[in-house]
Amino acid sequence: MNTNEYINTLFSDYEDSQGLRDFKEELQSNLNARVANLIRKGLSEQDAFNKACLELGDISVLANELSLKKRREVFEEVYMDIRKYMNGKRVAAYVTFGIIALFGVIVAVIGYFDSIWPLHNGWLSDGEFPFDESIIVLLGALMPFIAVSIAGFTYLGLTQETRSHFPMSRKRALWYALAALLLGFGIFIVPVTYFSSRYTDDSLVSTIGALIPFALPGGGVLAYLLLTEKNRLKPWAISSNAEMAKYAEIWHDPVFASRFGMFSGAIWIFSAGLFILLGFLVGFRYSWLVFIFAVAVQLLVQGFMVRRKT
């Protein structure tokens, strides 16, 4: 068995990749150099090969680390690209709901100016055609289109797989969309009701009452869904969050925090004194630059301390 066959045998159970091939070539080169060196010292070719392989030791740990790293790189490059999840039907759905929202805006603007035009031209008095009616026309035209668009975008967003989250089940996403639809109607119905009845005695009661058929069921459904929500993070995102949590734990260490606080205090006390001194010597127009250097020094100290801690 030569070095090439030996290296290939060691890595027979690992996925083929450019990184693995590079690692195998480098390992084979080192192994060949060691075999040649042992032969020059008087060992036979077979004995030199056996001794070099023995000295090489157990490289399965390195191989596992390399394979895991490569798998993660492939996963990030191929499966974490958001474009992989945006098929033609989903893109068309996003565009459709966007067109619905835009259509609602156009209709609402046309209705608003159409209703306010007679008032601006003096054809009608404020009492005959109050300005509030134009607001009602505007919001009333917007209400169905925007509410439907909000519900549609909610459903599409929750059922779409992203770089860090798995998609939500369609049934649960539909409940979220229903809650969004009800709350969307409630957001618009309140000002419509207010402007429709604000000159009456029961305007406040009517406005609050308009929330009941929309805000209560919508809010109840949304609260239930949020309280029973499961974690949809992907494994790499969970791992990344765990690493960030480890970094955050450093700052909860009393010794580390107090040490960093003392360094920071010393930096800023020295900077304040240097600012005053330079202010009188060269002028306060330039002495403020001291604080820029103080921030840089503090960041360097922070980086150095975190590196030593980790």
Quick: pLDDT tens for 6-24: 777 776 666 666 666 777 7
**Residues 70, 20 contacting (CB under 8 angstroms):** yes
Shared-domain flag, residues 60 and 123:
no
Domain that holds residue 52: 3-79
pTM summary value: 0.54
CA atoms within 13 A on the CB side of 19: 15
Beta bridge partners of 289: none
Tell me the CA distances in angstroms from 125 to 99, 113, 117, 130, 199, one per residue in order: 37, 16, 12, 8, 17
pLDDT at 66: 52
Rounded-to-integer distance, Cα 310 and Cα 308, Å: 6
* CB of 203 closer than 8 Å to CB of 194: yes
Report which residue type is found at 137.
V
The reply to whether 164 and 255 lie within a common domain is no
Alpha-carbon distance of 25 to 23, in angstroms, equals 5
Instruction: Please state the rounded mean pLDDT for residues 18-41.
Output: 77
The encoded tokens of residue 77 equal 């490059």
Last residue of a domain, one of 79, 107, 123: 79
Q: What pLDDT shows up at residue 103?
A: 95
pLDDT above 70 for 151:
yes
**Taking residues 132-156, what's their average pLDDT?**
89
**Alpha-helical regions (H) of the chain:** 3-10, 18-40, 45-56, 60-74, 88-120, 131-158, 170-197, 203-209, 212-227, 235-250, 254-281, 284-287, 289-309
d(CA 265, CA 227): 43
Is residue 93 in some structural domain?
yes
For residues 133-162, average pLDDT: 89
Residue 128 has pLDDT above 50, yes or no: no
241 is a domain residue: no
- Same-domain status, 118 and 10: no
